[in-house]
């Protein structure tokens, strides 16, 4: 009987050790899922925020305002986000508008002014 009790005790201890190992493995796996989920959530939040941002970033701003105008800096940035934020359409659409005759019209049509003579020197 003593031998049976010893075997039962060893078996019980082994089951408890296995249960402890499973408990810690489940805890580690749960922690991994939580940390991984938090990281994915953070990345998705950043991606959504980037898609809807309504501000210009440093590369889209003037390096030296004495040399270039805000318009030339924006035009040279070729940034879809900057174009959409300021004009409402992307770079490809803006290029299409320019190539569809706007440049020719802009360069050949004077801006009407009421404070100068149309027939006089500029």
More confident residue, 42 or 11: 42
Q: How many CB atoms lie within 10 A of CB 73?
A: 19
CB 79 within 8 A of CB 60: yes
Q: How many Cα neighbours within 13 Å face the side chain of 32?
A: 6
pLDDT of residue 1: 59
User: DSSP code of 120?
Assistant: S
pLDDT of residue 121: 64
Among the ranges given (27-31, 59-63, 92-96), the one the predictor scored with the smallest mean pLDDT: 59-63
Most confidently modeled range among 9-23, 44-58, 87-101: 87-101
CB 80 within 8 A of CB 90: yes
Average pLDDT over residues 25-32: 83
Query: How many angstroms separate the Cα of 11 from the Cα of each of 23, 71, 79?
Result: 18, 80, 69
Q: Where are the domains of the chain?
A: 1-52, 58-108
CB 111 within 8 A of CB 89: no
| Coil vs helix vs strand at 101 | helix
């Amino acid at each position: 009987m003593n031998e049976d009790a010893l075997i039962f005790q060893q078996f019980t201890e082994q089951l408890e050790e296995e249960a402890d190992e499973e408990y810690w493995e489940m805890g580690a796996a749960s922690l991994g899922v939580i940390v991984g989920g938090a990281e994915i959530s953070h990345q998705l939040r950043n991606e959504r925020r980037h898609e809807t941002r309504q501000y210009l970033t440093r590369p889209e701003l003037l390096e030296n305002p004495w040399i270039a105008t805000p318009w030339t800096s924006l035009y040279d940035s070729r940034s879809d986000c900057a174009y959409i934020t300021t004009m409402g359409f992307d770079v490809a659409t803006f290029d299409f508008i320019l190539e569809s005759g706007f440049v020719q019209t802009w360069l050949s049509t004077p801006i009407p002014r009421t404070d100068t003579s149309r027939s006089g020197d500029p």
